[in-house]
Structure 1
């Protein structure tokens, strides 16, 4: 009789591969994953089928961890102004605990072929939108969630490109100050129609 696969062993191996990939990046060979998970390359193939299949599952589990982690950070908290929540979330996301995720998925986003995760760019564009909407709803401006998301993503890309954390931190503080002013402005203020410019006749 053939050996039955044990889901708990597969799950443990996958978690170990995610831990390794967050620190060292995705490997070109199976041996680093085998060492990290305390098994062999042959057993990795047994449990996951192919190297690419293992890499895909590693990415998807890492993304699930990131969504849970970052989603909790940016979710609104009772009795705390949402800009304060965003400031603390930014510090954690761009600090030692969050940077491994930013590096991993920044590289995936820049991958021109997107073979391991087709459609990742599109999916990753809005997967943080809901908690930002909930937070901005508490400030009376849920429609500004897309702006918040765009600024966060843009400054993260800046850090990944330049490494200038201090400049990005200052820019984020400036944005939060502007966001507080925007939240004080009625949502209908920007929708007022501009009166037409009068024309003059030569007659």
Structure 2
């Protein structure tokens, strides 16, 4: 039996939906295979390994979040862009994609593969999407990468706090403070 790239691509989409609903840490192939109406052995056959499957899921998830940013209309300048980007990463599907990214990043911090490599690559794609939105919003091309770095770092910190039930008003103040900090770069 030859490996079918179309089946792999279709299974990657469904596997991504499964991981977005159930999480990445502790992912077991048997329940995932049941969701795909196949066996864990067939998943390994088509993907080569669990790590390759996870890498495909992480790429697919990141692509979905990036597509959501790419679809955003331009913001009215840098100040509005911060709020618009925060709203985007807090709405579906980017909110779930970001949570999966945070899980993968945590595993990647310890050098665990495929997480470290995929997260590194995803960072480049994600940052380019942030820069693209900022430039479309009128931010100077030389300032946009610096602003995107600061925005991304703060958003990741905010994402880590989300499960802690931080006061929503405090989070909004933090986003406002981030806006002040980012606009001071200009």
Q: Judge conservation of contact 1:10–1:47 (CA < 8 Å) in 2.
A: yes
Q: How far, CA to CA, are the matches of 2:52 and 2:130 in structure 1?
A: 32
Q: How far, CA to CA, are the matches of 1:66 and 1:170 in structure 2?
A: 24
Q: Which has the higher contact order (CA 8 A, sep 6+)?
A: 2
| Residue correspondences, number | 177
Residue in 1 that maps onto 2:160? 157
Q: Judge conservation of contact 1:158–1:168 (CA < 8 Å) in 2.
A: no
Greater helix proportion: 2
Q: Does 1:128 align with 2:150?
A: no
Residue in 2 that maps onto 1:138? 138
Q: TM-score, normalised by structure 2?
A: 0.75
Gaps of 5+ in 1: 184-203
User: How far 1:53 moved relative to its partner?
Assistant: 2.2
Q: 1:109 aligns with which of 105, 109, 127?
A: 105
Gaps of 5+ in 2: none
| 1:15–1:71 distance in 2 versus 1, CA, 3 Å | same
User: How far 1:25 moved relative to its partner?
Assistant: 1.4
Moved more, 87-96 or 143-152: 143-152
User: How far 1:13 moved relative to its partner?
Assistant: 1.2
Q: Does 1:16 align with 2:18?
A: no
Q: After superposition, where does 1:45-194 map in structure 2 within 5 Å?
A: 45-73=44-72, 77=74, 80-111=76-107, 112-120=110-118, 122-123=120-121, 125-134=123-132, 135=134, 138-140=138-140, 141-142=143-144, 143-160=146-163, 162-164=164-166, 166=168, 167-177=170-180, 179-180=182-183, 183=186
Q: TM-score, normalised by structure 1?
A: 0.70
SS at match of 2:103: helix
User: How far 1:131 moved relative to its partner?
Assistant: 4.2
| Higher Rg | 1
| 1:123–1:53 distance in 2 versus 1, CA, 3 Å | closer
Give the root-mean-square deviation of aligned CA atoms.
2.9
